[in-house]
Amino acid sequence: MQVGCYVRVSTTDQNLDRQLTSTSDYAQDDLGASLQDIETYRDKNTGTNTDRSGYRDLMADVEDNNLDAVVVHDITRLARSLQDLDRTVERVTSHDTEVHFVRDNLPPFIGDDDPMARLMLQMLGAFAEWEARVKQMNTREGIAARQENEDYHHGPAPLGFLKDDGQLVETEHYHDVVAALEMVQKDELSKRKAAERLDCARSTIGRALERSELYGL
């Protein structure tokens, strides 16, 4: 059996090791594939669209009928949009290639899917998309709440922001700040490394984490 393992993280600083181990172990233990039968496709960038080199290589091999199965750690690694998730699974299974999600406790998806399995996939995909939107909404609400506090108009702007007539405005590097802080929270990046990456002091990273609502964390 020829298996394609797809792994993805959001930034170049994040570690792929957990996904690499998860997908490789699943391919060997559950699908009976040998190491030489496993091809790994890697991406290190945003999951909000499918314009990714590893993803494109994976889909090219699927469409060339080079793979019997695709293994992904969880659905958020493949796509964070329900539309992209559904389209990708349909595209893969149309070439008689199975899709397996290791962590989501879903049955494998094949060309003729069980309607209940398809419903479960759509529900999980919808939840992942909703979760991403809630994070964005929480960020906006956190900023609004802070700005209503008179004391907040004094002192320097938080990391990733600047002040415009007393109002907080996201800088062009705001999303880099959010990504770095999220990795620190998950112990995927040290405060020192985050400070180096964002060109600030470690204490600034600590203060930003204390204001996690500003970053949707």
Say if residues 109 and 89 touch (Cβ distance below 8 Å).
yes
Q: Which residues pair with 70 in a beta bridge?
A: 4, 99
User: Whole-angstrom Cα distance, residue 35 to residue 47?
Assistant: 27
| Closest among 92, 84, 124 to 110, alpha carbons compared | 92
Annotated catalytic residue, options 10, 24, 53, 94: 10
User: Whole-angstrom Cα distance, residue 172 to residue 64?
Assistant: 40
User: Whole-angstrom Cα distance, residue 194 to residue 209?
Assistant: 12
Q: Strands of 48-140 (E only): list them.
A: 69-72, 98-101
Q: What is the number of other CB atoms lying within 10 angstroms of the CB of residue 119? A: 11
10 is annotated as an active-site residue: yes
Provide the annotated active-site residues: 10
